[in-house]
Structure 1
Amino acid sequence: MISGWCSELLSLGEKVWSAYAMSREPLQNKLSDQAYHKYFIKASACGREQAEKLCEKWESRDSRVLSQKLGVTVRNLPMPKGPGIITFACYYEPDCIEIYNDNARDVQSLIKAAGLGRQLGDVDIYSLLLAHELFHVLQKQDETLYVNLKHIQLWKLGALHRESRLVSLEEVAAMAFAGQLLGIHFWPYIYDVLMLLPRAPEQAQKLYQYLMRLKEEVIENADDNLC
């Protein structure tokens, strides 16, 4: 099962991941898919650029080393039990990151047991999670980053208007940052599915099926645009 899922997930194009990111955007009703995709591309570039700047500054791509250089406190904790939203790592302002390392270890074991290490780029799951959260540290430190800017006008009345950020772009950039830092040549979003497998396999299956539906929708929209 896992092998088949990975093959399908690895084949998903950028527009599918853009649609997935948009599905998590609270202001998605104010955007078309095409408009959001432009933000998605720029947020991705923001994340990759920040990764390269950090690597150049500290001459390392090791997220553990970089967390030390940035003065970040990293805590390794067991994943919380009970109902609610499942998370795999958390960032607490201004400089603390928690990693649920037991789940990360279990995912690593599942990937190894399925013989998928090479297919997935031999990614160290712990390093991936830490890298993702490190972007949020950098984001907090620099309010001029693209993902911190206000992109959407909520309303306008004469000279008065109100604008808002697109909070989903933070995650887009963090994913791109982690991928760039670790040299991953696919969107790390696929780990949203894989990370659920040890503790919530039913949720993993539902998310996988949802992504496959998004794939079909993207293909259908592309065909409609050709007509």
Structure 2
Amino acid sequence: MSVSAEKIASLIDMTEALRTVDDETWGFYAFSADFLNNRIPDEKKHEMIRKSIACGENCADRVMKEAGDSSPSTIVRQLGLEVIENDFPMTGNRKVFAQFTPPKQIEIFKDPLKRYESLLARASEQQASLLIPLQEIYNLVLGHEIYHYIEECNADTIYSRAEKYTLWRFFGFHYNTTVNALGEIAGMAFSRKLNHVAYSPFLLDVLLFFDYDEEQASAIFQKIMHMKEHI
């Protein structure tokens, strides 16, 4: 078995395992990257995760009903969003595949998609059938950014933005802040429902990072699976 074939086999194994990860685990994974992670009690996180998932799913239902379609590309057109693509390489350990910039721009980073496409090209037909198709991944990334647009338009009322956490209190003063993890959790739930997939799009953090740094992608995978066993 060649090195590339071994890499692909490893990616297949991780993909299959990540498909089985439950929503609570993915929620705690999202919180692990939030600066409030150690401030918020686990009981409160469980509540926030459930509400964020419901927020994303309900939002997807409304959007699909209004659009009469679940295709992210169709919804982008109907919402008047501009989608641009660039080839800038992803640097460091920051897993960014796209970003929404107000008021109406979505930027897709093509380099991680091209690297994943290259992995698929090196796979056998049978191996490729066990991995997630490139177009499906593109749609998942796009769907997630559509949610961030909707979130921005409804910042005062949508749960993932309206929910606040009290960071500190001092006499009669207090400081409330938004929780970034909630938007990520809701965005993944939104995109999952929009694209009619059973797994969480959070697994793209491993799939699209794999060709950049296999060792680091494996470490992320192990972290997620450890969370699955201990949450």
Matched with 2:190 is 177
Of 149, 156, 159, the residue aligned with 2:162 is 149
Question: What 5-or-longer segments of structure 1 have no aligned partner?
Answer: 219-227
Matched with 2:51 is 42
CA distance in 1, matches of 2:90, 2:202: 23
CA distance in 2, matches of 1:160, 1:87: 36
Matched with 1:19 is 28
C-alpha change, 1:157 and 1:137, in structure 2 (3 Å) is same
Asked if residue 52 in structure 1 is aligned to residue 65 in structure 2, the reply is no
Q: Deviations over 1:128-169 (max 9, x none)?
A: 111111111111111210011143112234443221211111
Of 152, 173, 186, the residue aligned with 1:140 is 152
C-alpha change, 1:195 and 1:84, in structure 2 (3 Å) is closer
Q: Deviations over 1:166-217 (max 9, x none)?
A: 1111100110111010001121111110010222323211111211222232
Greater CA drift, 98-107 or 116-125: 116-125
Q: Highest relative contact order (Cα 8 Å, sep 6+), 1 or 2?
A: 2
Asked whether the 8 Å contact 1:117–1:123 carries over to 2, the reply is no
How far residue 21 of structure 1 moved from its aligned partner, in angstroms, is 1.4
After TM superposition, the score normalised by the length of structure 2 is 0.85
Asked whether the 8 Å contact 1:179–1:185 carries over to 2, the reply is yes
C-alpha change, 1:10 and 1:128, in structure 2 (3 Å) is same
Asked if residue 166 in structure 1 is aligned to residue 179 in structure 2, the reply is yes
Asked whether the 8 Å contact 2:12–2:130 carries over to 1, the reply is no
Residue correspondences, number:
218
Greater CA drift, 101-110 or 89-98: 101-110
The alignment partner of 1:30 has SS state of: coil
CA distance in 1, matches of 2:90, 2:204: 20
Question: What 5-or-longer segments of structure 2 have no aligned partner?
Answer: 1-9
Matched with 2:214 is 201
CA distance in 1, matches of 2:18, 2:196: 18
Asked if residue 107 in structure 1 is aligned to residue 116 in structure 2, the reply is yes
C-alpha change, 1:15 and 1:149, in structure 2 (3 Å) is same
The alignment partner of 1:173 has SS state of: helix
Of 192, 200, 215, the residue aligned with 2:205 is 192
Matched with 2:38 is 29
CA distance in 2, matches of 1:84, 1:188: 18
Q: Deviations over 1:83-124 (max 9, x none)?
A: 462411111111111112342243245357363546758861
The alignment partner of 1:39 has SS state of: helix
* RMSD (Å), alpha carbons: 2.2
